[in-house]
Amino acid sequence: MDRIRIVGGNELKGVIPISGAKNAALPLMIASLLTSDTLTLENVPHLADVELLLRILGNHGVDVSVNGRREHQDGSYARTIHFTCRTVADTTAPYELVSKMRASFWVIGPLLAREGKARVSLPGGCAIGTRPVDLFIEGLQALGAEMEIDGGYINATAPKDGLIGATYNFPKVSVGATHVMMMAASLARGTTVIGNAAREPEVVDLANCLNAMGAKISGAGTSTITIEGVPSLSGARHRVLPDRIETGTYAMAVAMTGGDVTLQGTDASLLDTALEAIRRAGAEVTETPGGIRVVGYGSEIRPVDIVTEPFPGFPTDLQAQFMGLMTRANGVSHVTETIFENRFMHVQELARLGAKITLSGQTARIEGTRRLRGAPVMATDLRASVSLVIAGLAAEGETMVSRVYHLDRGFERLEEKLTRCGAVVERISD
């Protein structure tokens, strides 16, 4: 099992290209099930989650063609992938695949809309809370689907003439359920109105792609999305938007270690709230042509309180990284998690590096310290693992992060990107 070795103390200086967003790429890939034509996606990141979803889509009959990699001077790359599902080969998404990644459950929407039926295993993924599927079930039921849970699977059946447009208000904001509802409603008869919809940029990206395929979706990016169903969708070509979580992660790494890094190929508007929190912590963050420049001062980090919220609030996927930054602040800060009930598992690992963190319910109190010291630590989920990398970059001595397969799920060539900016980071394969 691979590990990542980090020797802290170096400032980061240079350019880091930002990859395509994993959280956008996954629903876009799943949208290929909605059409018999070819959907071409540009800027698809090379990640473990993407590779797993390719296997899952192949199980359903999607043919995949990958263009040759496009080289960049920094060594990272993005891919252009063509997805073609002439016919759906299987409407069952098996446990052995779906249990490994929660987003693969989303195939239930396109399968139900296109084939009128789906049998999908209940999902798995990171252990950061229960994340029930009731919102998905209720949303699809509003479109006329019959849903039954049997033996760990959800059996879904559409009415004889297909799904029917309806008005449905989510009782709680859910990005995944909004994705699924939009895809399913695109092929439903009549008009669907989704209330309390997720407003995340990845939702807008999916809507833009679906519209390019011939869907009629308006309101994406607001809390009310309207979908006028169409009989069929065609192929399209779409570029995956930049990864705002990767952008924020590297910005926090620069703020914590000091240095001067340009994050290339990203968009500040995707994470205004997070960038403002980084500015309040003492780093300089400025927009540049085609990117963002971050200048950090390391020892002059100011304490900042944040609360995670749905977009446009502070992203839960940057909570662990920001907590890592606050471990070096000159004072006390507070981080409150409101999205997932079990997303503080990184706290005990940060403590191994010398962080002073106490928990009270869903709020962490972080007393900043001048010195962190390297230690062996263990990644517990995707975002927690990269918070340990950030802390290790600022710690004295050597930090060894184990279970880095979590990192490979969401960060493309992380060690290469950091090394090219002066960090001492290497992957060790046992």
**Helix, strand or coil, per DSSP, at residue 188:** coil
CATH of domain 22-239: 3.65.10.10
Residue that has been written with the tokens 């849903």 in this structure: 147
**Which pLDDT tens digit goes with each residue over 63-96?**
999 985 444 434 346 799 999 999 999 999 998 8
Rounded distance between C-alpha atoms, residue 145 and residue 179, angstroms: 17
CA 347, 350, 352, 356 torsion-angle sign = negative
Query: Is 209 tagged catalytic?
Result: no
How high does pLDDT run on average in the chain? 93
Phi, psi of 133 (to 5 degrees): -100, 15
Phi, psi of 173 (to 5 degrees): -65, 130
Give the pLDDT confidence score for residue 74 in this predicted structure: 40
**Least confident window among 14-18, 124-128, 226-230, 386-390:** 124-128
**pTM, full prediction:** 0.94
Q: What percent of the chain has pLDDT over 90?
A: 83
Q: Domain coordinates of the chain in residue numbers? A: 3-18+242-428, 22-239
Q: Give 304-365 as a DSSP string.
A: --EEB-STTSB-GGGHHHHHHHHTTSSSEEEEE--S-TT--TTHHHHHHTT-EEEEETTEEE
The class level of CATH for 3-18+242-428 reads alpha beta
Give the pLDDT confidence score for residue 68 in this predicted structure: 52
User: Is the peptide bond prior to 376 cis by the omega test (within 30 degrees of 0)?
Assistant: no
Domains 3-18+242-428 and 22-239 share a fold: yes
**Which pLDDT tens digit goes with each residue over 272-295?**
999 999 999 999 999 999 899 999
Phi, psi of 341 (to 5 degrees): -85, -5
Residue that has been written with the tokens 């607001």 in this structure: 222
pLDDT at 113 over 50: yes
Residue that has been written with the tokens 């779906």 in this structure: 98
* CA distance readout (Å), 260 to 132, 157, 251, 389, 391: 42, 54, 10, 18, 18
| Neighbour order of strands in the sheet with 191-195 | 167-169, 191-195, 224-228, 216-218
Give the pLDDT confidence score for residue 176 in this predicted structure: 95
Centroid of chain to Cα 367: 29
Rounded distance between C-alpha atoms, residue 355 and residue 368, angstroms: 7
Rounded distance between C-alpha atoms, residue 388 and residue 182, angstroms: 36
Report the candidate in 290, 312, 289 with the shortest Cα–Cα distance to residue 198: 312
**Which pLDDT tens digit goes with each residue over 188-241?**
999 999 999 999 999 999 999 999 999 999 999 999 999 999 999 999 999 999
Strand (E) or helix (H) holding 186: helix 175-186
pLDDT at 258 over 70: yes
From the candidates 85, 126, 209, 421, give the one annotated as an active-site residue.
126
Rounded distance between C-alpha atoms, residue 342 and residue 347, angstroms: 11
280 within 8 A of 304, measured Cβ to Cβ: yes
Retrieve residue 243's tokens. Answer: 């990864």
Band of pLDDT at residue 132, cut at 50, 70 and 90: low
377 within 8 A of 397, measured Cβ to Cβ: no
**Which pLDDT tens digit goes with each residue over 374-421?**
999 998 877 778 999 999 999 999 999 998 888 888 899 999 999 999
